């Protein structure tokens, strides 16, 4: 007996297609009750959230659902089945060492697949800088050694990163080195640390205000001598394409005419190659002249040597904490005594040297960790105001090829 396969297949195919279409329609129409639990940053007390906005973007369709209905660090929302990118931004207040601090918070989770009737997910919050966006991504402060083992000078650099989702301008950004050191603890009077950072040298990016744009997820390099140091030292770095350099005519610096010079606001900027000092990124509220006129810092302390106390009086400058966008405390691992910024700016520290004379520190940097990848592909760097957690210590410099 012959069987007409075509006659059988056509109705069967139609039935299968109908079933598949019906199934797809049912999946697309199903709703998932999502419970989102917000996890506060570690180490904070009395945390309170406000102005929280959570955006759920369905990856395949591009449809966005926005909710602000957060209660007790929990949000409940009904979403169609699918794959979602979730982003959060808002305000946070918390207590740290008896002080109430306010700032920005955010979170990101990518590719969350929602199926079934219910789903519970945790979302870890991280701290951000209110009104900020620029962060110190990397500090190469140790320098290098020549093939003969001699210390080489001039190849240190800072990487400044736009950690926001919008174009920012580097004009007027200030980099300052702390006056106090993390390996030497003194009782300075008056103690201004809760309101300002004492600084011994300050440099500033020039510009008219919108002369130097930095796109989201991009960085600028501020170097010592912006030259190809590999020409003089095979162990060094090509910094000829740096964005800015600090140049001093009364030194052995080499001026690259193709690279703009940083403006020297106060004293010569010379990063300590062991890592005893800390660094802040800031903007002056009313300009250089106002800073130099109104923010001098006269202080005193008792220097003790072999049990004998010597009174010391000194003066530097201070940058108010409210001007500071980012801060990084550095130290030597075996000699750390204290951080020299208010904990609200940085509650941790990072390092390259394990001991003071650690020759292994040369050719190493500290670099901020990547927290997540944004929907647009840019890296979001970790910024919890704790350099111990935010930075990787003793890495090969990113610009060293």
Q: What is the pLDDT of residues 29-44, one digit of tens each?
A: 699 999 999 999 877 8
The average pLDDT across 139-146 equals 98
Distances (CA, A) of 8 to 12, 13, 15, 18, 133: 6, 9, 11, 16, 65
Contact predicate 334/145, CB 8 Å: no
Nearest residue to 352 via CA among 337, 369, 335, 340:
335
Residue limits of CATH 2.60.40.2100 in the chain: 32-128
Q: How far apart are CA 160 and CA 139, in angstroms?
A: 9
CA distances (Å), origin 14, targets 7, 9, 20, 181, 347: 12, 8, 10, 78, 66
Average confidence (pLDDT) over 315-320 = 99
Is pLDDT at 241 greater than 60 in this prediction? yes
pLDDT the model gives residue 1: 37
> In this predicted model, what pLDDT tens digit does every residue of 166-193 receive, in sequence order?
999 999 999 999 999 999 999 999 999 9
Going from the C-alpha of 383 to that of each of 126, 135, 235, 339, 346, the distances in angstroms are 7, 8, 31, 17, 10
Q: What pLDDT shows up at residue 19? A: 44
Asked if 114 and 34 touch (Cβ cutoff 8 Å), the reply is yes
> In this prediction, what percent of the chain has a pLDDT beyond 70?
91
Domain range 32-128, CATH architecture: Sandwich (2.60)
Among 92-101, 329-338, 384-393, the range scoring the smallest mean pLDDT is 92-101
Residue 374 pLDDT greater than 80, yes or no: no
Closest by Cα among 207, 206, 203, 323 to 271: 203
**Which of 211, 214, 212, 238 lies closest to 226 in space, CA to CA?**
238
The chain-wide mean pLDDT, for the chain, equals 89
What pLDDT is stored for residue 64 in this prediction?
93
Provide φ and ψ at 174, rounded to 5°: -110, 135
pLDDT at 29: 66
128 band by pLDDT with thresholds 50, 70 and 90: low
Q: With 90 as the cut, is the pLDDT of residue 8 above it?
A: no
Which residues is 35 bridged to in the sheet? 76, 120
pTM passes above 0.85: no
The 10s digit of each residue's pLDDT in 255-273 is 999 999 999 999 999 999 9
- Average pLDDT estimate for 359-387: 89
Distance (Å, whole) CA 173 – CA 132: 11
For position 101, what pLDDT does the model report? 83
pLDDT at 245 over 80: yes
- Give residue 2's pLDDT: 39
**pLDDT, average across residues 273-294:** 98
Cα separation, 387 vs 129, in Å, equals: 14
């Amino acid at each position: 007996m012959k069987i007409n396969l075509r006659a059988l297949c056509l109705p069967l195919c139609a039935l299968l297609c109908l079933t598949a279409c019906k199934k797809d329609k049912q999946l697309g129409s199903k709703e998932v009750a999502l419970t989102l639990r917000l996890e506060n940053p570690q180490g904070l007390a009395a945390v309170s959230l406000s102005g929280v906005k959570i955006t759920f973007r369905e990856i395949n369709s591009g449809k966005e659902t926005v909710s602000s209905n957060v209660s007790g660090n929990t949000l409940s929302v009904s979403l169609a089945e699918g794959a979602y990118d979730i982003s959060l931004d808002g305000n946070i207040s918390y207590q740290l060492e008896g002080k109430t601090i306010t700032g920005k918070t955010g979170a990101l989770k990518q590719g969350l697949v929602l199926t079934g009737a219910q789903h519970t997910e945790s979302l870890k919050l991280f701290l951000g800088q209110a009104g900020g966006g620029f962060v110190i991504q990397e500090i190469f402060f140790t320098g290098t050694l020549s093939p003969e083992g001699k210390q080489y000078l001039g190849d240190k650099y800072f990487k400044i990163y736009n950690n926001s989702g919008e174009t920012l301008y580097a004009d007027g950004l200030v980099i300052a080195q702390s006056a106090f050191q993390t390996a030497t603890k003194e009782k300075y009077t008056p103690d201004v640390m809760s309101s300002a950072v004492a600084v011994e040298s300050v440099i500033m990016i020039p510009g008219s205000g919108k002369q130097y744009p930095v796109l989201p997820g991009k960085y600028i390099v501020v170097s010592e001598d912006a030259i190809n140091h590999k020409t003089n030292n095979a162990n060094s770095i090509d910094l000829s394409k740096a964005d800015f350099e600090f140049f001093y005519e009364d030194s052995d610096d080499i001026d690259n005419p193709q690279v703009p010079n940083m403006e020297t606001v106060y004293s010569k900027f010379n990063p300590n190659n062991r890592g005893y000092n800390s660094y802040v990124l800031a903007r002056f509220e009313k300009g250089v002249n106002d800073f130099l006129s109104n923010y001098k810092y006269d202080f005193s302390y008792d220097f003790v040597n072999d049990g004998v106390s010597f009174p010391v009086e000194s003066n530097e400058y201070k940058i108010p904490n409210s001007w500071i966008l980012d801060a990084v405390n550095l130290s030597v691992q075996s000699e750390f005594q204290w951080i020299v910024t208010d904990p609200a700016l940085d509650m941790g520290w990072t390092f390259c040297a394990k001991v003071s004379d650690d020759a292994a520190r040369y050719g190493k940097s500290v670099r901020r960790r990547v927290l997540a990848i944004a929907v647009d592909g840019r890296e979001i760097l970790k910024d919890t105001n704790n350099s111990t957690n935010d930075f990787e210590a003793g890495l090969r410099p990113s610009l060293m090829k």
